[in-house]
Structure 1
């Protein structure tokens, strides 16, 4: 159950795809990082499924970028990976927003996707 470099590598692979799509303001590409039935909780009411993810990221301002640091990983079951990250969302016209992010990844047909995404903003 301990965090390993292999777990971190898998998590970084998924989160790098997510980051690239967020930075490009490509909401459909962000949504493609998620499972069809993903539970998504950003800083607005939650949604289920890729359409809600795409809608959330389409509403984000142009110029938004994401930087992340992997803090912890766990593998609670084969084909399931838990990730805990620190994320900085940067904007062109306001201060950076720092949040904590928990994700659950699932391996489906040999590919890893986000099936649960939960942002926590700490004051």
Structure 2
């Protein structure tokens, strides 16, 4: 499972569900895609756990949407996939915010969850 295609498939599975929940402004659904002890760093102070993720996305404006592009992937272990992404967050009333996003997807049982999420803005 070391191929780029396999790693991207794993990431797309969880990230497509993340995007759908973000676009629909469903913070609890977004949070359910994270591990219980996930480290989450958006553009505000970091949080640990699903409640912090739900609070962060619950505070985002209605109409915000996300578009992502996978830039790099690495298989760190059988149950860990690292992804580095470019993400554009679009809003109804202000310019697009482009960020870089590092995620760590972790397999728990038969499903993959985000266990680390860190946004950075360059420039």
TM-score, normalised relative to structure 1 = 0.97
Aligned to 1:94: 94
Stretches of structure 1 that go unaligned for 5 or more consecutive residues are: none
Aligned to 1:58: 58
Aligned-partner Cα distance in 2 for 1:76–1:36: 20
Aligned-partner Cα distance in 2 for 1:67–1:27: 17
Stretches of structure 2 that go unaligned for 5 or more consecutive residues are: none
Which 4+ runs in 1 deviate beyond 2 A? none
Q: How many residues align?
A: 123
| 1:3–1:74 CA contact under 8 A, matched in 2 | no
- Trace 1:30-41 onto structure 2 (pairs within 5 A): 30-41=30-41
Aligned-partner Cα distance in 2 for 1:106–1:76: 10
Deviation at 1:3, TM superposition (A): 5.6
Aligned to 2:105: 105
TM-score, normalised relative to structure 2 = 0.97
Aligned-partner Cα distance in 2 for 1:99–1:75: 23
Cα offsets for 1:70-121 (capped at 9, x unmatched): 0010001110000000000000000000000000010001100000000001
